Every structure is written in structure tokens, then in C-alpha cells.
Amino acid sequence: MQELISIEPEPQKAYLIGIRDGSMDDAEAQSLARELAGLAETLGVCILDQSIVKIREKHPKYGMGLGKAEEIAERARELGVDCLIFDQDITPSQQRNWEELTGISAIDRQELIIQIFASRARTREAELQIELAQLKHSLPRLTHKYIDLSRQRGGRYGTKGAGETKLELDRRSILRRIHQLEAEIKEVRQHRSTQRKKREKIPIPTCALVGYTNAGKSSLLNAMTNAEVLAEDKLFATLDPTTRRLEIGRGQPVLLTDTVGFIRRLPHDLVDAFHATLEEAALADILLIVLDAADPDVDRHYDTTLGVLKELGAEQTPKIIILNKIDKVSSPERLQELEKQYSDSVSISALNRTGLDTLARRIDLLISGASCRFRFPVNRHDLVAQLHRSGTVLAEHYEETYIEVEARLGQRMLGTLQEWRID
């Protein structure tokens, strides 16, 4: 009987290294260590060990002292790992130094996140954005790829060796590809902008689900709209924005958009590449900030989310804080503590579909706004119909020369109808 041989590649075995300097307290270091482990597991890496190295000052060669570096190298040899994963960015020269010292590959947090994004890209837009980020990250690292070849010399004095020629050819090729990708992504942004303008012509309020990665945004979109968006208990399950129509209140429609999750120290190349995607959050009428109430780092995740929203220019957008995964919170006392801390929040479980009615009412109240009165010409029944579609009509009164309507509606719609407002 023939023996079956698995052709599945074995997972990479990794040794995870966190670096704690004087500006970081122990709680923050432990939080980042947990997050680094989560990132590695998302990529399918087998973690054999993890260490946090305390340093007084950074050294240019390894990012730490030679003694600490040799200790890590010795531990890596004992474990028999395939790679070192650092929680902080390492320079191309430091990467080369670590690989020469240990004989295995060394990657940093930025490269790890880019690899996760690359493994999860499903649409053409995401693939373009990821490839652009990968090329920008790899460009300064080309030198170490050809370090041995660049030492080869031949011909007359001063002529370039094979490595330098290959390096320059690859650099030019990558730069051409970067320019090509930037042009294609520009077209994608223009297409997304056109779609957004079409939506704005039919003034339906938009709500963007934002928050830390794996907070449950996709699960919430599925629970509220019966969408079938991929929702996994992994970091960065969603890369592409998905928009679904949601009926709330008296048939009041809103557009609910799922967005890519945020994370601390998100690589700048990815922020730039996913600018078109993040615009969905920046231009929404309401931001639904989803927090994982069961996560011990929920406060840090909230601060990170607010920081990213500020970078996007969306800090003034109306917000609703959502405490998700309350079914996983360790105790009722802990949930009460969170609800007191985030006093204006809504507690839900997207998995069990609890609290969704309360959330829908909060969205309706925020979208509908204050009560306003309008007086329209008798031949402008289209404006009355628009109020019925986009607001909550409280009263209608028809006279010979005008139509008077009292309604609640959001700020964007209010600006459109401002000239007919009489209160």
C-alpha cells in the first residue's frame, strides 16, 4: 500500500522579539507582545518562544547591544526557528546584520502586517494596494539582497560588478511598477469617488463601522443587514469596504459600510495605499466605533481608533461607541465598569444579536436630528417625498399656496433644504 505524502508546506517556526525602551511601561510592552503573537498566528506562523528585551538606548547595528543580540541568536539556534520577528521596525542594514548573525531570516512588524494583508487580498483594488506597499517596503532592502554580488568586480578599474548592475536593473523595474500601480490606484480612487457622488445624489445617510482589527465590525454588518461578509476571529479579516442598505425607524434607510480595521503602528505604506478605502470612514455621516469589550486592551484600542480618525480628519464626525462581544466579558462587574467608563455607549453582542434594536434606535435618533419645519411651494411635492425618504416626517399641512412639513432629518439633508426652512 502506497504511503500518502503531504505536500502542504510546514508553518514557519518563529521566535518573537519585543523591544522595550525607557518610554514604554510594562503594561504597554505586554499588550504589544500579545498583539505581535496575534499577528503571527493570523499568518499561520508557529511561535516557539517570545521575549521582551529591555534596552536603555538603541544601537545602530542591531537596535540593541551586542550582548543582547548574541543571547537572542543563541536562543534562536537552540529553538531551531526559521525566522525572527521583531515588534518594532528594523532598518535594512539591521535586517542584514541580524540575518548574518543568526543565519535565518529577520522581519519586523511592518513586513509581518504587509504579509498578512497580502494573504487576505481578494479584490483587484486590494491586490493593487498591497503590491504597492510591498514594493515600497522592499525597495530600500534591495542592496542587502545583492550584497555578495556587488563585491564582484571585472574589467577596467571603476567598472560596476554584476551585483550592482542587477541591483540597478531591479531598482528601475520596481520604480516603474510603483508608478504604474500608483496610476491604477488613482483610477480606482476616481471610480470610488464617482460611486460616492452617485450615492450623494440620493441623499441616504451613511454610517461607517470603524475600530480596531478583530473588534467584530464584519459580524455586526452581517447581523444588522443579513450580509454575507467574511467574518473570522482573526486580525484583518476585512480589507475591502462593503456597503449594505439598512432600514431603521419608520423605514428610514441608511448605508452601513464595513471598513478595514485599525492597529497600532500601522505601516505608513499601507496607510497611503489604503487611502481610498479609509476615505469611506472619513466621509461618513456617522461613525460607529466598535470596541471588543472582552479584550483587556480595549482602552488602548479606543485611543488608537481616535488617533487614526484624527489623521483622517474625521474627529468631528458624530459617533456612537459600541461595546461588542459582551457575551465574552469576564464578569457582569467588568461590563458595568466599561458601560460607566464609556457612558454614552451601546452594549451588544453581534454574535448573539443582542442589543441590535437599541443600536438601531440610537442610529435613527442621531440621523433624524432635531425637529424642523419647512414650507414648500405647492408644486414641489418632490421635496416632500425627499423628506419622507431621508427623514422622519412628523406632520404635513397643505394650504392653497404652500405645503408645510415638520420633520426630523440629518445635517446633510438639512443643508440641502435650508432655503425652505421657516423655524
Helix axes 162-201, 124-138, angle to 10 degrees: 140
236 labelled binding-site residue: yes
Residues 307-344 have pLDDT tens digits of: 888 888 888 888 999 999 999 998 999 999 999 999 88
CA distance between the termini of the chain: 88
237 labelled binding-site residue: yes
* Residue where the block lists cell 432600514: 247
105 labelled binding-site residue: no
293 labelled binding-site residue: no
CA distance 242 to 126: 13
215 labelled binding-site residue: yes
117 labelled binding-site residue: no
The verdict on domain 204-367 having CATH code 3.40.50.300 is: yes
Residues 193-239 have pLDDT tens digits of: 777 666 666 667 888 999 988 888 989 998 998 876 655 555 666 66
H helices of 43-161, where?
66-79, 92-102, 109-120, 124-138, 142-145
290 labelled binding-site residue: no
242 labelled binding-site residue: no
239 labelled binding-site residue: yes
- What is the band of 157 on the pLDDT scale with cuts at 50, 70, 90? very low
123 labelled binding-site residue: no
391 labelled binding-site residue: no
9-18, 103-112, 412-421: segment of lowest average pLDDT: 412-421
Share of the chain above pLDDT 90, in %: 26
366 labelled binding-site residue: no
**CATH code for the structural domain at 13-115:** 3.40.50.11060
325 labelled binding-site residue: yes
How distant, in Å, are the alpha carbons of 67, 134, 259 from that of 84?
17, 19, 31
349 labelled binding-site residue: yes
The model's pTM = 0.73
Closest CA to 238 of 256, 267, 214: 214
Residues 8-46 have pLDDT tens digits of: 557 789 999 998 887 888 888 898 899 899 889 888 889
148 labelled binding-site residue: no
161 labelled binding-site residue: no
Q: What is the pLDDT of residue 23?
A: 80
The CA angle 177-183-187, to the nearest 5 degrees, is 140
- DSSP assignment letter at 397: E
374 labelled binding-site residue: no
- Could you tell me which residue, 51 or 155, shows the higher pLDDT? 51
Quote the strand ranges of 90-150, DSSP E: 105-108
- Could you tell me which residue, 81 or 369, shows the higher pLDDT? 81
314 labelled binding-site residue: no
Q: What is the mean pLDDT of the chain?
A: 81
Upper half-sphere CA count for residue 55 (Cβ side, 13 Å): 21
- DSSP assignment letter at 418: G
